[in-house]
Structure 1
Amino acid sequence: MTVTETPLLAERMSWIEESPSSRVADRVRAFQAAGKPVLPLTIGEPDFDTPEHVKEAAIAAIRAGETKYTSATGTPALQTAIRARLARKTGQSYGPGEIALGGGAKQLIFLAFLATLDAGDEVIVPAPHWVSYPDMVALNGGRPVLVGAGADTGYKLTPGLLRGAVTDRTKWLVLNTPNNPTGAVYSRDELAGLAEVLREHSRISVLCDEIYDEINFGTEPVPSLVSVAPDLRERIFLANGVSKAYAMTGWRIGYAAGPATLCAAISTLQSQSSSCPSSISQAAAAAALDGDQSFITETVAVYAERRDLLVSGLAAIDGLRPVRPDGGFYVWTDASRLIGAITPGGRRIATDADLAEHFLETSGVVVITGESYGCPGHFRASFALDSETIRKAVSGLASAVSALRFA
């Protein structure tokens, strides 16, 4: 009898790991299944429900029989809504061929790298960074070049840091504003400074991840690089979507704008992989982008209150230094002063992963480690949660920290 061998995985699977966010979410579910109380400050999605008029648009599409395949570039209605939104946001007019559609902004970023990276191409990724950028680059044959941007620069990339990271193999710069995990928003002057460096290197394209741009606590809209430096437009790929702004994470619709050649390549890749995003979700996304925007105003006001609650609570805990975010729904916290502490059980806190484990075991509070974002000694805490849960979590963290001692 011949024993059938299990097919071997491709070598590329050894280059990446499961997303830390997904791994932590699984840990939370395991604790909850075991009946243990958990206070997850890890939520990467709005806790609000999708707006009613958006849901009604999806229902209407179903009833109208709009349940078939669409073009890989999306329905005419969604294309129109995306282009109108981009014009309002950036002041730039994009043609139909300069728009790409996908199953979330995450898929579009992945496909952009798949379409452009050859073996050895380098991608500059400022750290702290969203957890998936480096693995996406590596999986598509590129080499992520992590550039640390610390508290002294507001956790933002500077022209000097960018200039020092560029080599003759640099193909992309990733620019995420508002940033996940720090909530940092690049000002127009800061973007202009980066643009000056980019003008010195015409071969470098910029992937601008703007998925949190509507969750903005400033008095002015979040500026976009393409607005600040329109002369670089043909080198800029803007990735966005409806997930965060409209509480539509599960609908899986992302959109992007950029050079027609790249958008066409992404559409080709999608036609050979997932064909097209859900037609129902496209109808909902068109209604979100083109309809009443009061949902954003109302939810951002709530987020601002929660932000202040979480920042003030963390700042009151000895050893923690939270950063007040200008956008998004996360608080980035420097916990490096607690590294080296001893738990009540006699275990030394050697890493931020040890600290996160201590928080979980002691108080049931779950955070995501700074190491996951390329910046050890920190953690990310979400305030996409109700205020009472935030208060309980802060109390739990205070208790967990007070239980630590230093030898």
Structure 2
Amino acid sequence: MPAPRPALRRRAELHPGAWWLWALGLGTAATRTTNPLLLGLLMASAGYVVATHRSTAPWARSYAAFAKLAFAVLLVRIAFTVVLGSPIPGTHVLLTLPEVPLPHWAQGIRLGGEVTAEALLFSAYNGLKLAALLICVGAANALASPARLLKSLPGALYEAGVAVVVALTFAPYLIADVQRLRAARRLRGRPDRGVRGLLQVGLPVLEGALERSVALAAAMDARGYGRTADVGASVRRTTTALTLGGLLGVCAGTYGLLTAEGGTYGLPVLLGGVAAALAGLRLGGRRSVRTRYRPAPWGLRAWLVAGSGAAVAALLTLASVRDADALHPGVLPLTAPAFPLWPAASVLLALLPAFAVPQDTEGAENPANPEEPS
């Protein structure tokens, strides 16, 4: 089967920012509920999209690591409740641990004691919310190419973006080198486990990481990384004022949306802060002397993917206001969580990218040197 032409491939590519907006929308939705059924449905939807659309590049394998981290966070949250107790009272005692006496200055803290089902359930609900956030971030890391995302950053954020991309891609490629060398040692009949195998694999891995670092530094120097254009002092001051004021407005507006008292001013302040920050980034991009080769297009599919994440976030936020009991199930008394139908249907909108984006969109990328800056 002949390979698709570059022009057709570029039209089929999805903008990496759309994946991040989709994942951030799912993460926002996860913060609006502690219902384990909705959170499980949200994580299952994100996992299905990742399973059908992630590429074979090394950075795309990070989803499994994020899933393991999410599971570890859930276990740690429950373990803390077992050992340190919980402020949630309960009547269903599961076990009683030996309680360690503490000095008088540690009042309010206990080690051991009774472990109730209500406390464990409350801890599991909150731990599952943190796990869902990690799953959403892992989905964005597995679906969006860091190198292509770097090309789409505003000029003012380019240097910081390069540092972030290098940091994000270093660990996945280090893991890929370890797996490749261990497979080669197994084929040669040499040990690949234990301390001996780790020591014999470690040196080639570090050598490969050093070679990639030198190649990356040479590529950055050859492309004039760090050069800036001369701009007037008034432009620099205006850029600083807009960016700083915009970020403060975003923080104040977000705080207003999350509190009941700031519901009236939260959205206008947030929108004004975003507009000021975007204007500051636009002006700050004048100092960046660089060009984009084949910029990632933002088409209809990108709008659908980003819009599906935003729709899930908006609908779950609305549901948390109108039906707070269903989205935040209580543990006193100890009852099973309800399954709200229309919030669950809203979560299923997260599956839209699985059908709107062709499955080979991200699968044919060439990961030969994704760390090289554009």
Larger radius of gyration: 2
Query: Quick check: which one's helix share is greater?
Result: 2
* TM-score normalised over the length of structure 1: 0.24
User: TM-score, length-normalised on structure 2?
Assistant: 0.25
